[in-house]
Homo-oligomer: A and B are copies of this chain.
Amino acid sequence: MGKREASRRDQALAVMNEAGLDGYLIENPVNVSYLTGFRGDDSLLWIGDAGFCLLSDTRFEEQIKEECPDVAALIRHSGQTTRDLLKIAVSDVRFSSSRPRRIGFESATTTVAYLDSLRKNLPDVEFVGRFQDVERLRSIKDEDEIVAIQNAIDVSTDAYRDVRGWIGADANEVDIRDELEYRMRKRGGDDVSFPSIIAFDERAALPHAIPTRGGRYGDAKMVLIDWGAKKDDYVGDLTRSFLTERGLSDLQTAYRKKFQEVFKIVLEAHDKAIAAIKPGVPCCDIDKIARDTIRDAGYGDYFGHGLGHGIGRVVHDFGGFSPSASSLIMKNMIVTVEPGIYLPGWGGIRIEDDVLVTETGSKVLSKRLSVDE
C-alpha cells in the first residue's frame, strides 16, 4: 500500500499549506501509521515543505526500512530525545526548504507537557494547534480500507457463530470472552478491536460491563455481546443481544415478552436510523431518528450514549452520530449504528451494526449476521 500512503501524505501536506504552516508534527501513532505504513509506536512524522521524515529510535530502525522504505527516517541514539531529532529535521533541506516559523501540531493528541518541551527546544517557532486534521482524512475510506474493514467484520462474525455453537451451561462471562477472542484469532484476526463485553442479565444494563466469573450461562436469561476483530490494521465492532435457552423457556414467559418488546423498539430505532443514512445529512439527524423512536416508545431515559461512531484503524474513530454532531455524513465513511435500552436491575439490549455510506444511501457491512442471531 506504499502508493496509498504517499497520496495520504500529499493530502496532509495540502492541509498544512492551506493552514499557512511551514511544518507539521504528527504525533498520534495511528496517524503516523496511516500516513507512512510504519506500525511501531513512539515515533513521530515530520512534514516539512520539502519532504517527510520519521523521527524514531533504534528499536524501530529495521522495522521502518521494512514497512516504509520510501520514507526517510532520523534515528535517535542513547541520550538523544525525539525533540533533538525535530531540531535536526527542521534544519535539513531534504525536509524543510527554509527554517520553519509556524509549525502545526495535533492538539487532540499532544499533551500540554510535550508542547512545553517542544517550545523550549525551538523557542523561535510558533507552534499552532490543529484539531484532528488527519483523523478527518482517515474518516473517508478508500477501497482497500473498505475491504479491510469488511474482512475484520467477517472474522468477527465467523468467530461469533463459532462461539454461539460452543457455549455450554457452565460457561461464565469470562469463559465466553476468552473463547470468542481466541476464535477471532483462529479465524484470521490479528487482535481484538477492544476488550469484549459479555454481560448476562442485569449486568447488560452496564453498557460497558467488564466480564466476570460470577454467573453461569445456564442460569442467565439473556446475554449481550459487544465484540470485534482487528485484521490488517482495521477493526469491526458489533453487538448482539439474545435470550438464552432459559430465557426462552416456558417458565419465563413474562421475561421473554419484556425482552421481545424492548428488542423490537431497539431494532426499529436501528433500522430507521440506517434507512436515513446518506451523504449530506447532518449526523445529529440520524441520532435523533433513533432517539425519538426510543423516546416515543417510553424508554427515552434508558438510552444514554450516542447512536454510533466512526470505525477504521481504531474502534472509536472520528465522526459518528450523537445529538451534538452537526457535521454532514459523507460518502465512504464507515460508522456503527448501535441504539440500546438499558434497564437497571433487569438487563440491556443493544443492536450494533457497521454501515458504509454509499453514493445514494448505505450498505450494512455486517449483514452476514442477522440482528437476532
Contacts and interface: CB of A to CB of B under 8 A. Distances in A.
Interface string A151-195: 000000000000000000000001000100110011000110001
B113 A58 contact: no
A304 B59 contact: yes
Contacts of A110: 111-112
Interface in A303-331: 304-305, 323-324
A175 to B, nearest CB: 9
B57 A304 contact: yes
A37 interface: no
Contacts of A62: 205-206, 344
A63 B209 contact: yes
Interface stretch (A85-93, A101-109, A237-245, A273-281): A101-109
A129 B107 contact: no
Interface string A133-149: 00000000000000000
A62 B210 CA distance: 12
A372 interface: no
Nearest to A211: B190
A131 B116 CA distance: 11
A98 B181 CA distance: 50
B107 A116 contact: yes
A299 interface: no
Contact of A63 (B59, B114, B129, B206): B206
A111 B106 CA distance: 9
A304 B63 CA distance: 14
A174 B112 CA distance: 38
A60 interface: yes
A79 B323 contact: yes
Contacts of A181: 182, 185
Interface in A338-369: 342, 344
Interface string A45-69: 0000000000001111111001000
Contacts of A304: 57-59, 61, 77-78
Interface string A252-292: 00000000000000000000000000000000000000010
A41 B190 CA distance: 24
A115 interface: yes
A32 to B, nearest CB: 14
Contacts of A40: 208
B107 A109 contact: no
Nearest to A42: B208
A207 interface: yes
A39 interface: yes
Residue of A39, A174, A181, A291 ringed by the most chain B CB atoms within 10 A:
A181
Contacts of A324: 79
Given A111-B107, A116-B107, A186-B178, A78 B208 contact: no
B113 A108 contact: yes
A323 B111 contact: no
Nearest to A64: B206
Contacts of A107: 111-113, 116
A210 to B, nearest CB: 6
Contacts of A291: 78
Contact of A111 (B112, B195, B344): B112
A110 to B, nearest CB: 5
8 contacts: A57-B305, A59-B206, A59-B305, A62-B206, A63-B206, A108-B114, A110-B112, A112-B112
